[in-house]
């Protein structure tokens, strides 16, 4: 079976969520470093209009959103607890809160000075300005609003207190082993501590120790390839077969558009060829040849017939 290819960039918190998950899973994988913002022509050829990062692929199957990618990692590593769909309702609720509400609050308190320095080291000045303008535009168009500047720090502190309490008698948030919620929680706090250099977490010793345990998983065994090599892999492959029970939706065969409902709401357009309880699968034939299946989650996404 082909290795998972992850399209990501170093400063991306959601990419760090998956990089550490790949380390915990002990998987070898292929790494494509992409731009922090569009245009990303080769990635767009794979994922269509979907603009968020990270994106993953296995051959000619393309996976958008960390929930969908985590499900693939869970299957590849035979660690079902990494897939959110395999977790309890309590874990799913906690992870959803950490991935959206807490993440947006952490971005606001994440040590702006050091983050700005890291961004400037990673990008040219024109790209820094484009990046800032791009993120402002995403925020203005987002349907989900954060807690605001004044509410961000208290919200993060409440979250840290909850995390600290959960770790009082166990090594990970819900037991002796990490599950999806640990990785959802880790990436936001990584953004504050490791990227932003903030001391906000220093008052929570069990949380600091837990972060060190998570960080120790590393990133697995990545092998660097180019965006063109990843695109060539997809064009040379065929999408995997879709089970008959996942081809029963009334809209199968229809041209549809699927887009996030929170932020970064650019749609992916294709022919609906599969639908599971957790995801939609769209068939696309990008310019230049090849046939792709793009997997998008149903949660927090919307499907419309074109």
Distance CA 47, CA 60 (A): 11
Q: Beta-strand (E) ranges in the chain?
A: 5-8, 28-33, 55-58, 61-64, 221-224, 255-260, 268-275, 279-284, 292-297, 301-305
162 and 107 in one domain? yes
Residues 244 and 148 grouped into a single domain: no
- The closest of 91, 72, 97, 86 to 22, measured between CA atoms, is 72
Q: Which of 215, 236, 266 is the last residue of a domain?
A: 215
> Which of the residue ranges 76-90, 118-132, 270-284 would you say has the lowest mean pLDDT?
118-132
Whether residue 234 is predicted with pLDDT greater than 70 in this model: the reply is yes
- Average of pLDDT values for 22-41? 95
pLDDT mean across residues, the chain? 91
pTM score of the predicted model? 0.92
User: Domain of 9: which CATH number?
Assistant: 3.40.30.110
- Residue span of the structural domain in which 170 resides: 90-215
Domain boundary, last residue among 189, 215, 241: 215
Number of domains in the chain: 2
pLDDT at 137: 58
For residues 154 and 179, give the distance between their C-alpha atoms in angstroms, rounded to a whole number: 26
Residue of 118 and 36 predicted with greater confidence: 36
Residue 114 has pLDDT above 90, yes or no: no
In a domain, 85, yes or no: no
Provide the pLDDT confidence category of residue 213 given band limits of 50, 70 and 90.
Answer: very high
């Amino acid at each position: 079976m082909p290795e998972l290819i992850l399209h990501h960039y170093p400063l991306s918190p959601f990419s760090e969520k998956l990089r550490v998950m790949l380390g915990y899973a002990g998987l070898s994988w292929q790494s494509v470093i992409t731009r922090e913002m569009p245009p990303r022509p080769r990635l767009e050829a794979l994922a269509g209009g979907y603009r968020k990062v990270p994106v993953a692929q296995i051959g000619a199957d393309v996976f958008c959103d960390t929930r969908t990618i985590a499900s693939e990692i869970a299957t590849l590593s035979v660690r079902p607890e990494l897939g959110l769909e395999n977790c309890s309702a309590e874990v799913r609720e906690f992870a959803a809160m950490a991935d959206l509400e807490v993440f947006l609050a952490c971005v606001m308190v994440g040590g702006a000075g050091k983050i700005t320095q890291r961004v400037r080291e990673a990008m040219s000045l024109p790209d820094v300005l484009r990046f800032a303008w791009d993120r402002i535009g995403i925020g203005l168009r987002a349907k989900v609003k954060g807690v605001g500047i004044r509410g961000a720090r208290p919200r993060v502190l409440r979250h840290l207190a909850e995390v600290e309490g959960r770790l009082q008698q166990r090594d990970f948030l819900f037991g002796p082993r990490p599950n999806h919620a640990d990785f959802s929680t880790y990436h936001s706090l990584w953004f504050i501590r490791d990227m932003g250099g903030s001391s906000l977490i220093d008052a929570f010793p069990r949380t600091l120790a837990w972060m060190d345990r998570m960080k120790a998983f590393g990133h697995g065994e990545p092998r660097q390839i180019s965006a063109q090599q990843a695109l060539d892999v997809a064009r040379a492959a065929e999408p995997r077969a879709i089970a008959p029970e996942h081809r029963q939706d009334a809209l199968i065969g229809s041209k549809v558009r699927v887009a996030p409902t929170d932020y970064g709401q650019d749609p992916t357009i294709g022919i609906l060829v599969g639908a599971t309880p957790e995801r939609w699968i769209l068939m696309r034939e990008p310019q230049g040849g090849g046939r792709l299946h793009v997997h998008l989650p149903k949660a927090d996404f919307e499907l419309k017939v074109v």
